[in-house]
Amino acid sequence: MRILILLLAAALAGALTVFSFAPYRLFWLMPLCLAALMELIQREPRRAFWLGYVWGVAAYTSNFHWLYASLHDVAGLPAAIAAPLVLLLPAYLALYPGLAAWVACRIDPRPWVRYLVAFPAAWELGEWLRSWVMTGFPWAAAGYSQITESPLSGYAPLGGIHLVSYLVALSAGALMMLARSNMRLRLGILIVAALLWCSGFWLRDVEWTTPQGKPISVALGQGNIAQELKWTPENLEQSLLTYYRQVAMTRADLMILPETALPLFLDDLPIGYLTMIRGEASRAGMALASGIPRRTNDGRGYLNSVVALSDPKMPYYAKDHLVPFGEFIPLPGLIGWIYQYMNMPLSGFSRGGANQPPLLLAGQKVAFNVCYEDSFGEELAGPAAQAGMLANVSNLAWFGKSEAMSQHLQLSQARSLETGRYMLRATNNGMTAIIRPNGEISAIAAPFTAQVLTGFAQSRQGLTPYMRTGNLPVVLGCGVLLLAALLLGWRRRGRH
């Protein structure tokens, strides 16, 4: 019975993490949820892995429950298949919290080693691993809960989201030590914690990059076209007309349309449509880019691309980091049969390739990324160094009226902080937004409405510390801390 109660407590602590992220943004809740996990593994260290695992399953299920809407409501997968598939992702991701808890309990039983050294380092190494193993899925990393309300968000330009995640876990460890220390040690911990968080306030005001040139006016299209209608032949004309009208009624230096806004291959557009939409942009003196699938040069595959339609040469960016199961089929011989039950067009995209140059639009070098790609800070740091601003095109109509689009917005805010650049987000149904280099939202469109969001953005130059170093310092630092904890535990066991 005692073990069951502890497992239920772990599940509750994990499930509550959903409120620490957007749209709720209760950033202070994440350190408390991690501290609760630490308390549970302290009470039952022999069950540390399972306590961490249950915490993780509950956390990732509550955060990613919208996957069910994608698979069942939109893609049409039967509930009997969709529900187990939704649980597969949390079941896998939960391995990392489970292993972090197990490692922290096996290294050294002393509270200060466990809470301040071993657990924060193991936790962050786990978050880093899950950001790239099997193509990676870094959503709901602890650091995102701090963007942008928390003082800890000020550390993002220094070491990226992984440094922020480490500091969240360290803060949770400090909370645990306060309950298990004498008065003198408590005072020391409080002073260090206060310095850490107060320094974050100061770092938030540091400008790591500088303006370049004059601000430009930007317009971001949001068509609000339902996913189940987007690819049907009878609704094709309406989709094309929606975005044509938005372009025709807009006056800006630069306009961006969302991911696959034009739901045809580029060379399959109706005769004259491209000429018409280009003409409207030209009359307004406006550079125009749109998400649209295009075939590879050899004609054997297709790309999820953003094409500069206003440029006669039509340069493009093609998505490189594809979503498994959604944009490519892993192990098609094993799981390909599932797709016969699903309405999922274009599920076999080709990769666009690394080191694609930014697009030159309205005199600005714009580094594009498509949807899920802005989950990977280190991958965007290189393109951002070559560009003055970032742009993300997305289509989150797959996930219904859920927290997914707000969570995605928070990821984009983190990328702006890490790179010190504006992020222009053009989405099909939300959250279309202009994000400042400090991660704050300059303008945002109401979700689930058809409209054009207008505002201003300015190119930036210079590199943040994170753009220079990437994740390496944080990963190496956590590795060194974990090794130090191992040595401390080994020495202690040697004395006994």
Mean pLDDT, residues 227-248 taken together: 86
* Known catalytic membership, residue 371: yes
Calculate the alpha carbon distances from 343 to 17, 77, 234, 347 in Å. Answer: 32, 8, 16, 10
* Known catalytic membership, residue 230: no
**pLDDT band at residue 156 using 50, 70 and 90 as cut-offs:** very high
**pLDDT band at residue 347 using 50, 70 and 90 as cut-offs:** low
* Known catalytic membership, residue 401: no
Q: Is the peptide bond before 23 cis (omega within 30 degrees of 0)?
A: yes
With contact defined as beta carbons under 8 Å apart, do 240 and 468 qualify?
no
**pLDDT band at residue 181 using 50, 70 and 90 as cut-offs:** confident
**Higher-confidence position of 493 and 123:** 123
Q: What is the DSSP string of 404-417?
A: HHHHHHHHHHHHHH
> Tokens standing for 255?
């306009």
pLDDT digits (tens, 9 = 90+) for 397-431: 888 888 999 999 999 999 999 999 999 999 999 89
Looking at 13-22, 235-244, 252-261, 418-427, which range is the least confident one? Answer: 235-244
pLDDT digits (tens, 9 = 90+) for 473-495: 999 999 999 999 888 878 776 66
Cα(258)–Cα(455) distance, integer angstroms? 17
CATH fold of 211-463 reads Nitrilase/N-carbamoyl-D-aminoacid amidohydrolase (3.60.110)
Looking at 32-36, 211-215, 351-355, 369-373, which range is the least confident one? Answer: 351-355
CA dihedral 268, 273, 279, 284 (to 10 degrees): -100
Set 33, 127, 327, 371: catalytic member: 371
Cα(163)–Cα(124) distance, integer angstroms? 8
What interhelical angle do 156-178 and 472-495 show, nearest 10?
30
Residue 27 has phi, psi (to 5 degrees) of: -60, -30
Mean pLDDT, residues 291-317 taken together: 93
pLDDT digits (tens, 9 = 90+) for 270-285: 989 999 999 999 999 9
pLDDT digits (tens, 9 = 90+) for 434-477: 999 999 999 999 999 999 999 999 999 999 999 999 999 999 99
- Domain layout of the chain by residue ranges: 1-207+482-494, 211-463
Cα(376)–Cα(138) distance, integer angstroms? 7
CA dihedral 359, 364, 370, 375 (to 10 degrees): 130
Q: Tell me the CA end-to-end span of the chain in Å, nearest whole number.
A: 34
Residue 43 has pLDDT above 70, yes or no: yes
Set 39, 124, 127, 259: catalytic member: 259
Set 39, 280, 319, 418: catalytic member: 319
With contact defined as beta carbons under 8 Å apart, do 443 and 411 qualify?
no
